[in-house]
Amino acid sequence: MKKCPKKLFAPSRPREECGIFAVYGHEDAAKLAYFGLYALQHRGQESAGIVTSDGKQVSEHKAMGLVPEIFNEEILNGLKGHMALGHVRYSTTGSSLLANAQPFRIYYSGTSFAIAHNGNLVNARQIRSELEGTGSIFQTSMDTEVVLHLTAKYFKKGMEQAMIE
């Protein structure tokens, strides 16, 4: 019987890429998200971002660099709300540009929402091509933006159904 290559089980380097941290129901959601991203910094040292909301207003801040370089007390105090979604990025798809920093936030059909994604969609190019063929316009080179377009496409059925689709 053939042995499996050792490298399948013991990679020579950690396989950790990107990190997501979310907070719900806490008045200091942005600060808690900051500390969560700081703890996950080893997973992505290219860019970071936090999106917050109080259920009505949405705020965001993202930039290239390390978490403590991107956020300070003034910025965190400006990110109001009891909900926060944060992301640290290590490029696996898409270019190393601010436009590709996450979380992504969109406003569609009277609703604002944000998404952060950790992973790679295996059929992103195919879906992107199909969406572009029906008029979708992409702003980034990220496969996560494909998820946003699919969500918008099925949003009229409700957010839960849009996620299922």
In a domain, 3, yes or no: no
pLDDT digits (tens, 9 = 90+) for 34-68: 999 999 998 888 999 999 999 999 999 999 999 99
pLDDT at 14 over 70: no
Per-residue pLDDT band for 10 (boundaries 50, 70, 90) equals very low
pLDDT at 7 over 50: no
| Mean pLDDT over the full length of the chain | 86
- Spot the catalytic one: 9, 15, 16, 18: 18
CATH code for the domain of 152: 3.60.20.10
In a domain, 29, yes or no: yes
Q: Is 4 annotated as catalytic?
A: no
In a domain, 7, yes or no: no
**Intra-chain end-to-end CA distance of the chain, in Å:** 43
Residue 121 CB-density burial (10 A; 0-12 exposed, 13-18 middle, 19+ buried): middle
How far is residue 145's CA from residue 132's CA, in Å, rounded to a whole number? 12
The parent domain of residue 147 ranges over 16-164
- How many folded domains does the chain comprise? 1
In a domain, 6, yes or no: no
